[in-house]
């Protein structure tokens, strides 16, 4: 049976690594015509070479709204339509809230919210005109539950969920679909990264990998995340929550939020104790 993605145009931001690269691989395997976007030129080139003629690469910063809009309009023009846009590029910024300044929040907002907004606005206009298409915005389980020590990150991911679920209702009137991807910890470079070097340094930052493992279990492979995501896209799910244990946490937080708060507080205390805080 032919894939729903075969021959369709798809743009993936943050495609040089992690979930974005996993999505690119999964889409290429299904016969999609791909445009890969990332600020990491070297990583993007490696990804494009690995995927071969199935894709084209564009090095740009998703914070650059005109550049992203120009790319999206060019893809729609060259392909004749715009079928899928995966606004996946993101950044993880965290630390004790008492040490974080406005600059830390601004960077999180610029990449994780404005970057998604830029891609959504540009794609939505095209898709409304053609009365079809699907926008998938990468949020996080942290967009559905509280995650202390990653307050800027969690804040932005809640915003992405709100954007996606609210726009989805309007978009349906125009034949356009919108979904929010909400994964738990995924095996990506984000787990071992630090805050950007040009931001004010912190005295201490949690071991994100260890901390998130305690909160949500072992990191889920990026390729399996991508496969689960595309199944959710095919089913037009409003919230694509992966893996199964993340769906359990999301449901538990909805009906028994006190339990999730208690577990989160325990993980917080243990991580701060490990860090000598």
DSSP three-state, residue 108: helix
Cβ atoms 116, 160 nearer than 8 A:
yes
Gap between the Cα atoms of 250 and 116, Å rounded:
22
pLDDT band at 1 (very low <50, low <70, confident <90, very high): low
Q: What is the pLDDT of residues 208-231, one digit of tens each?
A: 999 999 999 999 999 999 999 999
- Active-site option among 84, 105, 124, 153: 153
Gap between the Cα atoms of 28 and 49, Å rounded:
12
Gap between the Cα atoms of 58 and 195, Å rounded:
25
Cβ atoms 22, 28 nearer than 8 A:
no
Catalytic residue status for 153: yes
Q: What is the pLDDT of residues 238-258, one digit of tens each?
A: 999 999 999 999 999 999 999
Q: What is the pLDDT of residues 88-114, one digit of tens each?
A: 999 999 999 999 999 999 999 999 999
Percent of the chain with pLDDT over 90: 96
Residue 7, both tokens: 């021959």
Give the chain's domains with CATH numbers: 9-274 (3.40.50.720)
Enter the pTM of the model. Answer: 0.97
Gap between the Cα atoms of 107 and 212, Å rounded:
21
Backbone angles phi, psi at 35, to 5 degrees: -125, 120
Residue 178, both tokens: 């919108």
Q: Which residues of 154-169 are buried (b: 16+ CB within 10 A; e: fewer)?
A: bbbbbbbbebbbebbe
Q: What is the pLDDT of residues 132-165, one digit of tens each?
A: 999 999 999 999 999 999 999 999 999 999 999 9
């Amino acid at each position: 049976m032919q894939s729903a993605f075969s021959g369709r145009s798809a743009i993936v931001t943050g495609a040089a690594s992690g979930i974005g690269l996993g999505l690119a691989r999964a889409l290429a395997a299904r016969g999609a015509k791909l445009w890969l976007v990332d600020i990491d030129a070297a990583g993007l080139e490696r990804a494009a070479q690995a995927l071969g003629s199935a894709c084209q690469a564009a090095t740009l910063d998703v914070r650059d709204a005109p550049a992203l809009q120009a790319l999206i309009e060019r893809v729609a023009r060259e392909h004749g339509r715009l079928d899928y846009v995966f606004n996946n590029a993101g950044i993880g910024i965290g630390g004790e809230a008492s040490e974080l300044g406005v600059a830390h929040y601004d960077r999180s907002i610029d990449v994780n919210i404005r970057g998604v907004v830029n891609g959504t606005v540009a794609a939505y206009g095209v898709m409304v005109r053609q009365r079809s298409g699907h926008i998938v915005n990468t949020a996080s389980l942290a967009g559905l539950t509280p995650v202390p020590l990653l307050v800027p990150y969690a804040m932005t991911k809640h915003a992405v969920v709100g954007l996606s679920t609210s726009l989805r209702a309007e978009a349906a009137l125009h034949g356009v679909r919108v979904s929010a991807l909400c994964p738990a910890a995924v095996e990506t470079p984000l787990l071992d990264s630090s805050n950007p070097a040009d931001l004010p340094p912190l005295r201490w930052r949690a071991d994100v990998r260890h901390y998130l493992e305690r909160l949500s279990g072992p990191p889920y492979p990026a390729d399996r995340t991508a496969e689960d995501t595309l199944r959710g896209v095919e089913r037009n799910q409003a919230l694509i929550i992966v893996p199964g244990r993340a769906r359990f946490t999301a449901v538990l937080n909805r009906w028994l939020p006190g339990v999730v708060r208690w577990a989160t507080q325990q993980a917080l205390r243990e991580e701060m104790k490990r860090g000598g805080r």
